[in-house]
Amino acid sequence: MTTPPNTGAVGVHRTRVEWIDTDAAGIYHNTAVVRFVEAAEAALMRERGLGGYFSSAPRVRYELNFESPLRFEQEATAVVEVVRIGTTSMTFAFELWGEPFAGRPRTRAAHGRFVTVHLDPHTGKSAPWPRSWLTALGVP
* Alpha carbon distance 16, 135 (integer Å): 33
* Alpha carbon distance 26, 55 (integer Å): 33
Strands of 67-106, DSSP E: 75-85, 89-98
CATH-assigned architecture of domain 10-136: Roll (3.10)
pLDDT of res. 2: 45
pLDDT tens-place string over residues 14-69: 999 999 999 999 999 989 999 999 999 999 999 999 989 999 999 999 999 999 99
* Alpha carbon distance 139, 6 (integer Å): 10
pLDDT tens-place string over residues 87-140: 999 999 999 999 999 999 999 999 999 999 999 989 999 999 999 999 999 988
* Alpha carbon distance 84, 1 (integer Å): 10
Count Cα atoms within 13 angstroms, Cβ side, for 18.
Answer: 7
Q: Do 94 and 52 contact (CB within 8 A), yes or no?
A: no
Residue 41's CB is within 10 A of a number of other CB atoms, namely 23
Look up the pTM and report it: 0.91
pLDDT tens-place string over residues 68-84: 999 999 999 999 999 99
Whether 3 has a pLDDT exceeding 60, the answer reads no
pLDDT of res. 41: 97
